[in-house]
Amino acid sequence: MDTNIVLQLENITKKFGDLVAVDNINFELKSSEIHAILGENGAGKSTLMNLIYGLFQPTSGTISISDNPTILRSPKDAIEHGIGMVHQHFMLIENLTVAENIALTIAQFSSQDGAISNIDSQHSPTGSIPHLSKFRYKKEEAIQITDALSNQFNLQVDPKALIRSLSVGLKQRVEILKALAVDARILILDEPTAVLSPQEVTSFFSILRTLQADNRSIIFISHKMKEVLEVSDRVTVLRNGKKVYFGKTSETSARALAREMIGEEIADIERNETKATTELVLNVSGLKVQGNRKEIAVSDITLQTYRGEIVGIAGVDGNGQRELAETIMGLRTHVDGKIEILGRQPKGTKNIRECGVGYIPEDRQTMGIISSFSVTDNLLLNAPQLDHIAKWGVIDQKKKFDIAKHLIETYDIRPPIKDRISSTLSGGNQQKIVLAREISPQPELLIAVNPTRGLDISAAQFVHINLLEQRSQKKSILLISTELDEVLQLSDRLFIMSRGKLIEATPYRDDIETLGLFMTGEMDTDAQPA
């Protein structure tokens, strides 16, 4: 074996009953390498990473770390072998603070001598990081360690904040800090840039290259072709559990990688220029909303959407987007302002949905699906679907499964098993359940918050086509996304949300640098274009 190879998988297969999730895969990771993994949802990426991280054990095959065959029985084994992972679904304790989550990780997995070599000692007031005995630590020490990590890696987050109060983007930062806190030499990153602004992506890539220079190796899972081409050294593509492509990133292209992922050429989306009607659908005026810690999360927002248009709101996660969407849906009360939907002011989520509002929340696991329910049951949680299959309070089982089968096929939910428990599906396929349930009833107003988060290129394109189809049918769509490219591609009017305020940005849609400055708050959020 090449001494430069720090991780090698040989003929790895993983079966779940009759389902072959990973099929005879060979893979190698070199020292100081960023190796990208691409593949559609359900292609086997998550399963492969879970094998490396010890969450699953292979049905057959060998995993070697630094030329030593290794059995990884648990994440603890993986961490002890220098492997850290930032999961697509976060492994955080919601009722503890950021500092407490990080301290517990260090206490459980740090080496016996307490060395935490990757934390710069200059950030500690005493010049060193205090040793934390297993599961025992002082609150101030935990905060000190979190601040040191945050400052060193430029991943700012409030160490005293409860995890449950954080946005999805901030939770991801905590997961990255946890992996760095235990000095992982092999770092698995699952969609790490999904919630970053253009400037932050550039900064994050600088961090990755710093880690490379420190002889760390990175497995980079992403659906963003541009990022894979920019930051990775080599790329492996999976399809249907098999490795179908492997090579140097510099020797391929985005179109070629997309073709390998889906097995055929993918056509570009046609976006016809249309004019919105004058019929007002959503009218928000003077809206002020408190966050979970009683801070003002949404500040004096005024916004209108009309039939036949997509209104896009871009921004770095944690700037009030979630609070805005939840307030419109009646999931959060507002302290001031007015919300009208088709000329009405409905109170409560049930009445809002009865006005014809669909909602794709930002966090599919806590707000989008009930993980213990089957795929079928999650697909039919919406009232419109239930109205079609129930009579006198009794559900017609044949209609129920016929509708579920149709949605599973239409939205390509994998595996296509109607009674499969939703928690066993990949994140992308869980997202497809939410999309199918919320888009298929053809709502008059669709509020979509990060609708393509975690989706592969073909699934994301399918979502985009559906949103544009809603637009062509004179529906109204409010698209809130951290994916700036997505908002630019789809929206008729563009806004940036920063520090709870809404900035009209349509005239700047071709000026990525200015949009990034708006997103990061480096340009006055009160500034309006001429």
Average pLDDT over residues 14-33: 94
State the pLDDT at residue 125: 32
Element spanning 38, H or E: strand 34-39
pLDDT above 90 covers a percentage of the chain that reads 52
**Which residue is listed with tokens 């707000």?**
367
Average pLDDT over residues 264-293: 88
Distance CA 516, CA 10 (A): 43
Confidence of residue 473 (pLDDT cuts 50, 70, 90): very high
* Best-predicted range by mean pLDDT (127-141, 151-165, 195-209): 151-165
Confidence of residue 152 (pLDDT cuts 50, 70, 90): confident
Distance CA 1, CA 240 (A): 28
The answer to whether residue 526 scores a pLDDT higher than 60 is no
Q: Which two tokens stand for residue 332?
A: 């959060």
The better pLDDT of the pair 437, 40 is held by 437
Mean pLDDT is lowest, of 144-153, 325-334, 371-380, for 144-153
71-130 pLDDT per residue, tens: 999 988 998 899 998 876 678 998 999 999 998 888 776 544 443 434 443 433 333 334
Q: Are 263 and 242 in contact (CB under 8 A)?
A: no
Q: Which two tokens stand for residue 24?
A: 């005879």
- Residues forming beta bridges with residue 219, ordered by sequence position: 35, 188
In 3-state terms the chain splits into helix, strand, coil percentages (rounded to 5) of: 35, 25, 40
State the pLDDT at residue 508: 92
Q: How far is CA 179 from its chain centroid?
A: 18
State the pLDDT at residue 134: 44
Distance CA 369, CA 361 (A): 10
Domains of the chain: 1-82+185-191+215-266 (3.40.50.300), 89-182 (no CATH), 280-520 (3.40.50.300)
Distance CA 359, CA 382 (A): 10
Average pLDDT over residues 292-303: 92
The answer to whether residue 512 scores a pLDDT higher than 70 is yes
What is the chain's mean pLDDT, rounded?
Answer: 86
The better pLDDT of the pair 83, 135 is held by 83
The answer to whether residue 260 scores a pLDDT higher than 60 is yes
The answer to whether residue 420 scores a pLDDT higher than 50 is yes
State the pLDDT at residue 357: 96
Q: How many residues does the chain have?
A: 530
Q: How many CB atoms lie within 10 A of CB 29?
A: 22
- Residues forming beta bridges with residue 7, ordered by sequence position: 29, 65
Confidence of residue 522 (pLDDT cuts 50, 70, 90): confident
Average pLDDT over residues 410-426: 89
Confidence of residue 70 (pLDDT cuts 50, 70, 90): very high
322-338 pLDDT per residue, tens: 999 999 999 999 999 99
Q: Are 72 and 52 in contact (CB under 8 A)?
A: yes
Distance CA 362, CA 474 (A): 24
The answer to whether residue 530 scores a pLDDT higher than 60 is no
Confidence of residue 385 (pLDDT cuts 50, 70, 90): low
Confidence of residue 524 (pLDDT cuts 50, 70, 90): low
Average pLDDT over residues 44-50: 89
DSSP line for 512-530 = HHHHHHHHHT-S-TT----
pLDDT above 70 covers a percentage of the chain that reads 89
The better pLDDT of the pair 218, 414 is held by 218
Distance CA 174, CA 237 (A): 28
State the pLDDT at residue 176: 83
